[in-house]
Structure 1
Amino acid sequence: MEGEGAAAVRGGDEVVFAELAQRYRWELRVHCYRMVGSFDEAEDLVQETLLRAWRYRESFQGRSTFRAWLYRIATNVCLDFLDRRPRPLMPDEVGGPPEVSWLQPFPDRLLEPVAERAAEPETVLVARETIELAFLVAIQRLPARQRAVLILRDVLGWSASETGELLEMSVAAVKSALQRARPVLRAHLPQHHPGQAPAPVTALTGQERELLRRFMVAHERADIAAFAELLSEDVRLSMPPLPYLFVGRTDVAAFAENAMGPGSALHRGCWRGVPVQANRQPAMAGYLRRPGEPVYRAQVLDVLRVEDGKIVEITAFGPEIFAAFGLPATLP
């Protein structure tokens, strides 16, 4: 199809172009998301990629695949965006490493192609280790071009020559950029994270599903003691884009007490949790019905990272992200 479609695309055949572009839209969105760390911005950048591809369709000569051509455009769109909008890392309040304030979660329901595409040889498996929030935060600490090299080489498996051609770099420059990027990535990943050569793990484990169930029950009952039992000793809680970071079971449980305990303005409200998946991690969409209100309103989306049977990290996002997960703003 691609070989036959090259002339049609160059000739301005909108139907052929749309069919080819739609086949890769889902993975281009994942690629842009890894580059910028924001779901909303990735959506905009994919749209810009396809508009730019159509505008410059005559440059597609068919020497590479249509997919590789789109990746070249998408990567350059992201690099242009990052060049226009430098990303200063935001210092947290406890003196730890700077936080990625623009971070947003990615709905698992959008991580796979449609069923008929899944069996194609070129389909990219979105492995957990390359989409987890911890990985996203770590690669945001790399300069943009090093980030692109690492994603193309270690995540997508492109060769050094393919990467160099896409980025207009020599093979030696690609190898040098990768050698500089890998140690930085490893330094900022959790201790048990593999860092490269990820295993193709996508599904939640039974342990993760059970911890998520207990997490939701503890919230719905405002049971701070039950909540604390689920946490590791060195658990971290962050709330991008807010500059708050709580580290350790005692501090995280104290925050939960302030948010849901008897002294909280929310204590008399009723919580309801909806299980979801984000970035191949268990997550809860939390809804709150305040006293006197007839409905539960979207409040928070908590994404959990689990290790050794405990929650080691909670990343809490605001209700503005619910729509991307297909979640309603209210529940009856």
Structure 2
Amino acid sequence: MELEPYRGELVAYCYRMLGSFHEAEDLAQETMLRAWKARDRYDSARASVRTWLYRIATNACLTALEGRARRPLPTGLGAPSDDPGAPLTPALDVPWLQPFPDARFDLGMRADLRLALVAAMQLLPPRQRAVLVLREVLQFSAAEVATQLGTTVAAVNSALQRARTVLADAGDPSGVAEPDDPQVRAAILRYARAFEAADVPALVRLLTDDAVMEMPPVPLWYQGSRDYGLFMRRVFDMHGAGWSTTLLSANGQPALAAYAPEPGGGHRLHTLQVFTITGGRVAHNVVFADPRVLGLFDLPRQIS
């Protein structure tokens, strides 16, 4: 029985359920181990290997989510800040949503992994979340999902309708351009050049009027190109010009790793920034500074 080809999609499924890449890898591994130990009891006449694996993974995720708080982004916790000079105090007690490092697995299109959608999924009760992902993303039938969850087709259809209602504000992922879209790539290249030069006016020109910046684990976020620009001025005043950036992707979205200049020369890894591009301009930037999150992307800590 070949299980390894399913590892990547199982990690992605567990990530959608949990909002944590670290935990998703652990639960995907647990799923594989459970399946291997139970291989003699697998009945191919009742379910495909893939369906069987997802039943195991779903049970593992639902158990892991018992009593857990949701994983938010700062935009999910309150109103935007109106003080670009506010203290940047991390809220280390909050289980923040983590990004998904695209390069770790070959999953094809990743629009259904985008940060806004995964953050919205965290608002759903765990079983509704499972129904939504299994039906809408993974395209299992209602009957298959009912079997996986030990419930009825009617209950699955009802849960799916409730989940769709909650996620209505998350938008349609089919309309989100991929990182290699020429317009998206051109916008990110312009942003990276302006960022490296610490050119705040150039950055502001690349933003939508209501652009959002948020910075987990700091529970602050800003809305509007004015406050975005004022905050970036503060960052560049602290660290100077001469930054370096590396382009990559996360959650099926364009991203860059930002390296701050060091006083003695070279650059130190500072943040990972994940973008939403709308009409060739930056509409949303989620800036991750947690060292554990940065470690997911196998980035060098220092560069020349």
Return the TM-score normalized by structure 2.
0.88
CA distance in 1, matches of 2:282, 2:293: 22
Counterpart among 295, 299, 308 of residue 270 in structure 2: 299
Please list every run of 5 or more consecutive structure 2 residues that lacks an aligned counterpart in the other structure.
Answer: 82-93
CA distance in 2, matches of 1:38, 1:320: 11
1:307, distance to aligned residue in structure 2 (A): 0.7
Q: Determine helix, strand or coil for the equivalent of 2:32.
A: helix
Name the structure 2 match of 1:161.
143
1:206, distance to aligned residue in structure 2 (A): 0.9
Per the alignment, do residues 312 and 106 of structure 1 end up closer, same or farther by CA in structure 2, a change over 3 Å counting? same
The answer to whether residue 105 in structure 2 is matched with residue 87 in structure 1 is no
Counterpart among 161, 169, 186 of residue 179 in structure 1: 161
Per the alignment, do residues 58 and 102 of structure 1 end up closer, same or farther by CA in structure 2, a change over 3 Å counting? farther
1:317, distance to aligned residue in structure 2 (A): 0.7
CA distance in 1, matches of 2:11, 2:166: 25
Name the structure 1 match of 2:300.
328
1:240, distance to aligned residue in structure 2 (A): 1.9
Return the TM-score normalized by structure 1.
0.81
Matched ranges for 1:97-108 at <5 A: 102-108=96-102
Question: Are the equivalent residues in 2 in contact too, given 1:204–1:280 (CA < 8 A)?
Answer: no
1:201, distance to aligned residue in structure 2 (A): 6.6
Counterpart among 213, 226, 229 of residue 237 in structure 1: 213
Name the structure 1 match of 2:279.
308
Counterpart among 74, 94, 98 of residue 57 in structure 2: 74
Q: Which amino acid aligns with 1:181?
A: A
Name the structure 1 match of 2:26.
44
The answer to whether residue 191 in structure 2 is matched with residue 209 in structure 1 is no
Please list every run of 5 or more consecutive structure 1 residues that lacks an aligned counterpart in the other structure.
Answer: 6-19, 114-124
1:94, distance to aligned residue in structure 2 (A): 3.1
Name the structure 2 match of 1:247.
223
1:4-30 C-alpha deviation (Å, 9 max, x unpaired)? x4xxxxxxxxxxxxxx12110011011
Question: Are the equivalent residues in 1 in contact too, given 2:256–2:273 (CA < 8 A)?
Answer: yes
Q: What is the root-mean-square deviation in Å for CA atoms of aligned residues?
A: 2.1
Q: Which amino acid aligns with 1:233?
A: D
Name the structure 1 match of 2:90.
none
Question: Are the equivalent residues in 2 in contact too, given 1:238–1:316 (CA < 8 A)?
Answer: yes
Q: Which has the larger radius of gyration?
A: 1
CA distance in 2, matches of 1:228, 1:59: 60
Q: Which amino acid aligns with 2:242?
A: C
Q: Which amino acid aligns with 1:139?
A: M
Question: Are the equivalent residues in 1 in contact too, given 2:178–2:184 (CA < 8 A)?
Answer: no
1:45, distance to aligned residue in structure 2 (A): 1.4
CA distance in 2, matches of 1:215, 1:134: 21
Name the structure 2 match of 1:277.
249
Name the structure 1 match of 2:84.
none
The answer to whether residue 260 in structure 2 is matched with residue 288 in structure 1 is yes
CA distance in 2, matches of 1:201, 1:309: 10
CA distance in 2, matches of 1:223, 1:29: 39
Q: Which amino acid aligns with 2:99?
A: P
Question: Are the equivalent residues in 2 in contact too, given 1:236–1:313 (CA < 8 A)?
Answer: yes
Question: Are the equivalent residues in 2 in contact too, given 1:101–1:242 (CA < 8 A)?
Answer: no
Q: Determine helix, strand or coil for the equivalent of 1:222.
A: coil
CA distance in 2, matches of 1:36, 1:23: 21
Q: Determine helix, strand or coil for the equivalent of 2:219.
A: coil
Name the structure 2 match of 1:116.
none
Question: Are the equivalent residues in 2 in contact too, given 1:301–1:317 (CA < 8 A)?
Answer: yes
CA distance in 2, matches of 1:215, 1:88: 28
1:258-279 C-alpha deviation (Å, 9 max, x unpaired)? 111xxx2212x53100011111
Q: Determine helix, strand or coil for the equivalent of 1:185.
A: helix
Q: Determine helix, strand or coil for the equivalent of 2:218.
A: coil
Question: Are the equivalent residues in 1 in contact too, given 2:17–2:61 (CA < 8 A)?
Answer: yes
1:203, distance to aligned residue in structure 2 (A): 5.1
1:166, distance to aligned residue in structure 2 (A): 0.6
CA distance in 1, matches of 2:95, 2:218: 7
Q: Determine helix, strand or coil for the equivalent of 2:238.
A: coil
Q: Which amino acid aligns with 2:195?
A: H
1:59-117 C-alpha deviation (Å, 9 max, x unpaired)? 3222211111111111111111111423375623538xxxx95211112223416xxxx
